[in-house]
Chains A and B, each alone.
Chain A
Amino acid sequence: MIGNLPYIAVIIFIGLGIYTLMFKKNLIKIVIGICLLENGVNLFLITLGYRKGAVAPIYTQAPSGQSMVLPTPQALTLTSIVIGIAITALILSIAMMIYKHYGTLDTDQVRRLRG
């Protein structure tokens, strides 16, 4: 049961991220919701690689005869974090331009395109 705790944390992160995306009205809070969703998926990827009683997969100064966690999900997570930074930087810049043109950050009033 205690080994399932990271997976429960993943579900909580993704659930909170989707709740923020659906119910919050401020544009910056929507960006925070996307960041929460991304953190949840990254945590899921890292947790998949864990093996019981293993250490970090680095050869330098490692004890001998020791099992190591899988390094492939760590490479996947690193790529995902870099992509997340690009998304966050771009979407925050777009939120700043929306504030410049519309004067508000409320999604109920940023609605010139409809129909």
Chain B
Amino acid sequence: MKQMSKIVRTITNLIYGFIIIFGFYVIVHGHLTPGGGFQGGAVVASAFALLLISYGGVNSEKLLKKDFLSILESCGLTMFIGITFLGLGITFFYNFLANSGDWFGNTTVIGINPGDMNTGGVIPLMNIAVGLEVLSALGVIVIFMASAAEFTKNKENL
């Protein structure tokens, strides 16, 4: 794919970091506001797609590496399953951090409140694991599809 015009590239330079930060915000606050692991991961992956469209697949190879994203995906998935295994004292998927006073262990206040991020137990950790997995998986998909556009274009001689 060829890179797009100067205007598009400038706006991408300015806005790329903000999209990624917003995506991580949606991932981490999943237990308080709408959002969570999958939604935040999809937002970050859309930043990757923006980079690929505006700069072209060949030029963004240095920033988006397939191997690194693949390892990150495996780390996210293993973290998810590992956390579910840790609750095996009672049963699988048990929320052993909730109401315990530890990491993420405060008790949730019943009723209307501005939201305490330290609550929720195991849920924010699983949100982060799923968010890492989704952003790297969708990133790898988008990179492969962009590189596959090269061979179909060669066929049509465009």
Contact = CB atoms under 8 A, between A and B. Distances in A.
Do A's and B's CB atoms come within 8 Å in the complex? yes
Contacts of B34: 58
A78 B113 contact: no
Contacts of A58: 33-34
Kindly state the interface size class of chain A when it binds its partner. Answer: 10 to 19
Nearest to A74: B34
B152 A82 contact: no
Classify the secondary structure of B's interface with A: helix
A32 interface: no
14 contacts: A58-B34, A59-B111, A59-B112, A59-B113, A60-B113, A60-B115, A82-B38, A92-B145, A93-B141, A93-B144, A96-B145, A96-B148, A100-B152, A100-B155
Given A59-B111, A63-B112, A93-B145, 15 more contacts: A58-B33, A58-B34, A59-B113, A60-B33, A60-B112, A60-B113, A61-B112, A82-B38, A85-B42, A85-B138, A93-B141, A93-B144, A93-B148, A96-B145, A100-B151
